[in-house]
Amino acid sequence: MTLWRNIEVKSGDNLSAIFSKVGLSDQDLFRVLNSSDEAKVLNQVYPGYQLDFLIPVNVDGDGELEQLRLLKSPLEGFLFTLNNNNYDVESILNFPQLRPTFKVGTIADSLFMAGQREQIPAVTIMEMANIFGGVIDFILDPRAGDDFSILYDEKYLDGEFIGHGDILATQYTNQGKTFTAVRYIDEEGEAGYYNAEGESMRKAFLRSPLDVFRISSNFNPSRRHPILNTIRAHKGTDYAAPRGTPIRATSDGQVTRASRNGSFGNLVIVKHAGGFETKYAHLSKYANGVKKGKRVRQGDIIGYVGTTGSATGPHLHYEFLMGGVHQNPRTIIDKLPKAKSIDPAEMDSFHTQTVDLLKRFSDMNSTTFITLNQPSAD
Ligand SMILES: [Zn+2]
C-alpha cells in the first residue's frame, strides 16, 4: 500500500527528526541531500513548509523513500523522485486560480471595524488605505456614512482557498466625494493604482503622518479630543493618538533635525524637494537611525507619538511649510502640482487593461448601493 505522509514543519523541527518520524534513517536523509544541488534547499526548511513522503512498503514491511515533495507554499516547491539509487529533482510551480471578490462597507465607527463587519481581510483594508493615502487622511477625514467597495482576488488551488491576492479596483466615498482607483501594470511591468483618467494615486505627500492601522483598533480619533483636530494659532495639525504610535515621513526627503526644541519637545524636521518641509513634534522617541542628514522615504517610520515639550496629552503636532511659510497641510496638498500621470503614449495600453474592469466594477457598485439604499419594508 502506498500513501503520502504529509508533515508540516513546526518551529524547532529539524530534518533528521522529521525523517525519523516517518520511519526513515539519517542515511536516507543523506542520500536525498547529496543527490543534487537543488536538494540543498532541504537544509533550509522553515516553519510552515510542508514535506510529503511517499514510502511504498514491500511484502517484508520495509519501505524505501520513493518520492519526497517539499512545498515552500502551496504554489512553490520541489519534487525528488528515486531513480536508480539516486534522486531526480524537478521544481513544482503551481498557478493559483484567481476569483475576484467584491465587498462593500460603510463607516459607522472606524475603517477597521467596517472591514471586520464585512469580513474583508485586514491586509486588503490596509492595502485600500494605502492606495488612497495620498488623497484621504484616514485619521481625520472619515465620517460615519462614508462607504467603500473593493474588488480583489482570492487565490484558490484545486478548489481550496490559499490566500488573498491584489486589489483590482477600489472606491471610497469620503464626505460625499468619491475616489476610484484601478490597478494597472505599466509597460515596465510595474503595478500601480490610478484613477480612471490615468493619474497615479501615489502622491508626493501622504495625507496623514499616522497610519490608521498603527493606531490601536479601539482608539477612535473622531470621538476623542475633537479640539485637537483644528488648525490653531501654532500653525500645525494635531493628531491625538496613543503614546508610541509610529509616525511616518509624509514624503521622501532628508532629516535636517532630530533633537529637542523647547515647547516642541523631541522634534523631527524633514526637508523635501521643491522647497517643502515637514515637522513632527512632541515625539516620545526617534525611530532607530533617524538623525540629522538621514535620507527617508515616504512612509518610513521616523519616530513615535509622545508628550515631550508642551503637550497636555499624547499627540503628534504636524507642520507643513512651503518656502519657509506655514501652510495648512489639509488644503495645500490639493494645490500642489498634479501627480505623475500615465504617459500619453501609454494611454491606449492603460485603457485596454482597465476599461472592462472599471465598467464591471462600476456595475457592481451601482447594483449593490442601489440595493443598500432601497427603503426597507418595515
Ligand atoms: Zn500642536
How many whole angstroms separate alpha carbon 350 and alpha carbon 343?
Answer: 10
The reported pLDDT for the residue numbered 214 is 78
User: How does pLDDT run across 212-239, given as a tens digit for each residue?
Assistant: 887 755 444 444 444 444 444 567 888 9
The reported pLDDT for the residue numbered 79 is 96
User: How far does residue 307's CA lie from ligand 1's centre (Å)?
Assistant: 11
Which carries the bigger pLDDT value, residue 308 or residue 333?
308
Confidence check: pLDDT of 67 > 50: yes
Identify the domain boundary among 43, 68, 93: 93
Mean pLDDT (whole number) for 314-326: 92
Q: Which of 27-36, 208-217, 221-230, 356-365 has the lowest mean pLDDT?
A: 221-230
Measured at the alpha carbon of residue 209, what is the angle toward residues 286 and 280, in degrees to the nearest 5? 45
Instruction: Identify whether residues 78 and 140 lie together within a single domain.
Output: no
User: How far does residue 172's CA lie from ligand 1's centre (Å)?
Assistant: 29
Whether residue 376 is contained in a domain is answered as no
User: How far does residue 286's CA lie from ligand 1's centre (Å)?
Assistant: 18
Instruction: Identify whether residues 138 and 217 lie together within a single domain.
Output: no
User: How far does residue 311's CA lie from ligand 1's centre (Å)?
Assistant: 8
User: How far does residue 140's CA lie from ligand 1's centre (Å)?
Assistant: 15
User: How far does residue 318's CA lie from ligand 1's centre (Å)?
Assistant: 7
> How big, in percent rounded to 5, are the helix, strand and coil portions of the chain?
20, 35, 40
User: How far does residue 274's CA lie from ligand 1's centre (Å)?
Assistant: 25
Q: What is the domain count for the chain? A: 3
Confidence check: pLDDT of 161 > 70: yes
User: How far does residue 143's CA lie from ligand 1's centre (Å)?
Assistant: 22
Confidence check: pLDDT of 242 > 70: yes
The reported pLDDT for the residue numbered 134 is 94
The reported pLDDT for the residue numbered 373 is 54
Mean pLDDT (whole number) for 38-50: 90
Q: Which pLDDT band holds residue 87 (cuts at 50, 70, 90)?
A: very high
Whether residue 125 is contained in a domain is answered as yes
Whether residue 63 is contained in a domain is answered as yes
Full-model pTM: 0.80
Q: Which pLDDT band holds residue 30 (cuts at 50, 70, 90)?
A: very high
Q: 3-class DSSP state for residue 351? A: helix
Instruction: Identify whether residues 186 and 262 lie together within a single domain.
Output: no
Instruction: Identify whether residues 154 and 210 lie together within a single domain.
Output: no
Instruction: Identify whether residues 181 and 136 lie together within a single domain.
Output: yes
How many whole angstroms separate alpha carbon 302 and alpha carbon 315?
Answer: 15
User: How far does residue 234's CA lie from ligand 1's centre (Å)?
Assistant: 6
The reported pLDDT for the residue numbered 91 is 93
The reported pLDDT for the residue numbered 227 is 43
How many whole angstroms separate alpha carbon 121 and alpha carbon 1?
Answer: 42
Mean pLDDT (whole number) for 54-58: 85
User: How far does residue 235's CA lie from ligand 1's centre (Å)?
Assistant: 8
Confidence check: pLDDT of 46 > 80: yes
Q: Which of 99-113, 160-174, 210-224 has the lowest mean pLDDT?
A: 210-224
Whether residue 110 is contained in a domain is answered as yes
Q: 3-class DSSP state for residue 239? A: strand
Whether residue 373 is contained in a domain is answered as no
Q: What is the CATH number of the domain that holds 226?
A: 2.70.70.10
Confidence check: pLDDT of 364 > 90: yes
How many whole angstroms separate alpha carbon 317 and alpha carbon 305?
Answer: 9
User: How far does residue 205's CA lie from ligand 1's centre (Å)?
Assistant: 20
The reported pLDDT for the residue numbered 6 is 92
Mean pLDDT (whole number) for 257-286: 96
User: How far does residue 110's CA lie from ligand 1's centre (Å)?
Assistant: 24
Instruction: Identify whether residues 59 and 27 lie together within a single domain.
Output: yes
User: How far does residue 278's CA lie from ligand 1's centre (Å)?
Assistant: 13
Whether residue 374 is contained in a domain is answered as no
Confidence check: pLDDT of 155 > 70: yes
Identify the domain boundary among 93, 116, 131: 93
The reported pLDDT for the residue numbered 243 is 93
Q: What is the CATH number of the domain that holds 358?
A: 3.10.450.350
User: How far does residue 316's CA lie from ligand 1's centre (Å)?
Assistant: 7
User: How far does residue 326's CA lie from ligand 1's centre (Å)?
Assistant: 13
Query: How many other CB atoms sit within 10 Å of the CB of residue 343?
Result: 12
User: How far does residue 207's CA lie from ligand 1's centre (Å)?
Assistant: 17
The reported pLDDT for the residue numbered 234 is 63
141 is written with which cell numbers? 477625514
Identify the domain boundary among 56, 74, 93: 93
User: How far does residue 279's CA lie from ligand 1's centre (Å)?
Assistant: 11
Residue 126: CB partners within 8 Å, gap ≥ 6?
213
Mean residue pLDDT across the chain: 89
User: How far does residue 266's CA lie from ligand 1's centre (Å)?
Assistant: 13
User: How far does residue 280's CA lie from ligand 1's centre (Å)?
Assistant: 10
How many whole angstroms separate alpha carbon 53 and alpha carbon 56?
Answer: 10
How many whole angstroms separate alpha carbon 83 and alpha carbon 62?
Answer: 18
User: How far does residue 209's CA lie from ligand 1's centre (Å)?
Assistant: 14
Q: Which of 24-38, 164-178, 252-266, 342-356 has the lowest mean pLDDT?
A: 24-38
Instruction: Identify whether residues 54 and 19 lie together within a single domain.
Output: yes
Whether residue 190 is contained in a domain is answered as yes
User: How far does residue 252's CA lie from ligand 1's centre (Å)?
Assistant: 23
User: How far does residue 179's CA lie from ligand 1's centre (Å)?
Assistant: 29
Whether residue 197 is contained in a domain is answered as yes
Confidence check: pLDDT of 362 > 90: yes
The reported pLDDT for the residue numbered 216 is 58
Instruction: Identify whether residues 118 and 63 lie together within a single domain.
Output: no
Which carries the bigger pLDDT value, residue 267 or residue 228?
267
Instruction: Identify whether residues 122 and 42 lie together within a single domain.
Output: no
Q: Which domain holds residue 231?
A: 206-336
Instruction: Identify whether residues 77 and 153 lie together within a single domain.
Output: no
Instruction: Identify whether residues 227 and 319 lie together within a single domain.
Output: yes
User: How far does residue 206's CA lie from ligand 1's centre (Å)?
Assistant: 19
Instruction: Identify whether residues 84 and 154 lie together within a single domain.
Output: no
Mean pLDDT (whole number) for 253-267: 96
Mean pLDDT (whole number) for 169-181: 96
